[in-house]
A and B are shown apart, each in its own frame.
Chain A
């Protein structure tokens, strides 16, 4: 939708709009299930983080990803029942799931019902600003998707993290 042009139609425009809108609605439902799940089951504990000393943890993990893993260092934060995510994972997941996604849903639903959007903000159209914000966040989440899938390949083997996503088990190798 962002890149629609008369010269190179990848998907027909009205089909693209419909697919996008329907996906958005389904995603909202899925997200609500996630939020409720995190509140009611034990999974929520993995999304809570103590701020004190957090930056040091993140930097430690970043060092491992950018240098340590190439010189034979072992991963600084082991995955176990108490820790599902390493610090960088946790940071990005919290930002995506609890900051970016809520705003995407709010702006997305507002664009489905544009009569509720403020008409003008300073000299800019309200709907325009909402849509730019929606697209920007969408871009950031798409970027996250690519990085996320890539990092998935940095497991014990290429496919082990993908297997974990499906069967829910993390295999420890010492």
Chain B
């Protein structure tokens, strides 16, 4: 006689768990991302520039010395590989004299390319509107006050830059704000560029209720930059005296955040009724930007009917009381 070791129910439960385990293990293998690729020439440069230390050897005497690679000359290979320009050769942007080691002084005189030098007039990237960005940047407070001391690279790290793509709003806010905070939250970097004292941001934004929440959910540039409808991210950063400080500019049905922080989402989904706040509502919640078209209509109708009913009732009451009075 065959003894039943486990009951029918236990068997099916075990089978179910087994199938789940197989499914998840297969799924996790399949979902691994392809490793980013660096060019061979870049890897040569990264032998020294990719880490905290490098080794210099004297071919005549055979001496070797381990030196520290200054932080500003270091490029993280992983971040470089994941960046938009990661598969470039270093010498695509940097002088070819760098191929000589130790590097000759001629490299100091290399041309430092800005975004527009490659992307200006480029049909392939016309949608990014690099010319408009350059123009807007030129009018910004950084360009006006710091001139040559400031450039694209002051905010965007050329080696690590990559498009943020479809990331959650809070992540996008954090990434964008980091760009501002690398100087505006850093005494040393700030004083490299100006003799002004570094303003304490928390004190400067004292007037903002729920400050920490705002800083997590809105970008600096949503209040401090002038929006331009033809580019995806505003580059015309204005002096702080011109920043938006009217709550209702965002906290209303015609929220300006639709033209800034949520521009990308709006471009993807338009609401014909004109209430664009549907996009905002499902990503984040903002007080008083949550009016829904249909609820609005329904509430007006219901309220109107109520007032009408009261008016009719008052009419009949007045008629009755005047007829009572005349009896």
Contact = CB atoms under 8 A, between A and B. Distances in A.
A66 B209 CA distance: 49
Contacts of B303: 143
Nearest to B285: A127
A125 B247 contact: no
B270 interface: no
Contact of B252 (A6, A127, A132): A6
B282 A147 contact: no
B248 interface: yes
Interface stretch (B91-99, B127-135, B195-203, B290-298): B290-298
Interface residues of A, number: 31
B260 interface: no
B241 to A, nearest CB: 20
B43 interface: no
Nearest to A18: B209
A58 B234 CA distance: 62
A102 interface: no
Interface string B280-292: 0111110110111
A125 B253 contact: no
Contacts of B268: none
Contacts of B248: 4-6, 9, 13
Contacts of A150: 310, 313
A130 to B, nearest CB: 8
Given A13-B288, A70-B316, A143-B302, A4 B295 contact: no
Contacts, number: 72
A139 B288 contact: no
B50 to A, nearest CB: 40
Interface string A117-141: 0000001110110011001100100
Interface in B244-299: 246-249, 251-254, 281-285, 287-288, 290-292, 295, 299
Contacts of B249: 6
A3 B292 CA distance: 12
Contacts of A66: 313
A13 B255 CA distance: 14
Nearest to B207: A14
Contacts of A14: 209, 247
A124 B316 CA distance: 47
A114 interface: yes
23 contacts: A3-B288, A4-B248, A4-B251, A4-B252, A4-B288, A5-B248, A6-B246, A6-B252, A13-B247, A13-B288, A69-B317, A70-B317, A114-B285, A125-B281, A125-B282, A127-B285, A128-B281, A128-B290, A131-B285, A135-B295, A143-B302, A146-B307, A150-B313
Interface of B: 209, 246-249, 251-254, 281-285, 287-288, 290-292, 295, 299, 302-303, 306-307, 310, 313, 316-317, 320
